[in-house]
Amino acid sequence: MSDLQELYQSVILDHNRKPRNFGELPSASHEADGRNPLCGDEVHVALVLDEAGTIADVKFTGHGCAISKASASLMTAAVKGKSRSEAEELFARFHALVLGQDPDEGKTLGQLVVFSGVSRFPVRVKCASLAWHTLKAALESGATDTAAVPAVSTE
């Protein structure tokens, strides 16, 4: 394993152990549930979209493997303060990265670059992208009624 891969691994393990933005968000304007049945990962993403269309706050809860949890943690850190369209664009680029299709290999994706190695493990792509799919479902939902929380499955 190269030094770079070891560094990436340690960032993922750190976010798994101490996830950022983990917890409930009672003031959420948008939320969604995501499941990756192949691995057993489950995530709930809740966010506050302000009147300007900016993700003012975002949190997640759930459980799953280290990759899914670290990805949710890094996703929330990456999209907080971004507009909805910026967040969707970031998801498109992250998705290309984990599929091994990003021409920059994540070099302009900030900390998200730590998931570049996932492309070599196709079964892990769904773990890494679950939180992002769930974020997208939340942004598209507009649901404030918890009974109407949309659910996505990456299976």
Binding interface with Zn ion (CB under 5 A):
39, 41, 65, 68, 127
Name which of 18 and 63 has its Cβ closer to Zn ion. Answer: 63
Name which of 61 and 83 has its Cβ closer to Zn ion. Answer: 61
Name which of 16 and 21 has its Cβ closer to Zn ion. Answer: 16
Distance separating alpha carbons of residues 25 and 7, to the nearest angstrom: 31
Q: Minimum distance from CB of 132 to Zn ion (Å)?
A: 13
Within 51-137, strands assigned E span 55-63
Q: Minimum distance from CB of 85 to Zn ion (Å)?
A: 28
CA-closest candidate to residue 71, choices 121, 122, 38, 113? 113
Q: Minimum distance from CB of 64 to Zn ion (Å)?
A: 5
Inter-residue contact 34 to 130 (CB < 8 Å): yes
Name which of 30 and 69 has its Cβ closer to Zn ion. Answer: 69
User: What is the distance, to the nearest Å, from the Cα of residue 104 to the centroid of all Cα atoms in its chain?
Assistant: 20
Structure tokens given for 137: 């479902």
Q: Minimum distance from CB of 47 to Zn ion (Å)?
A: 22
Distance separating alpha carbons of residues 60 and 135, to the nearest angstrom: 10
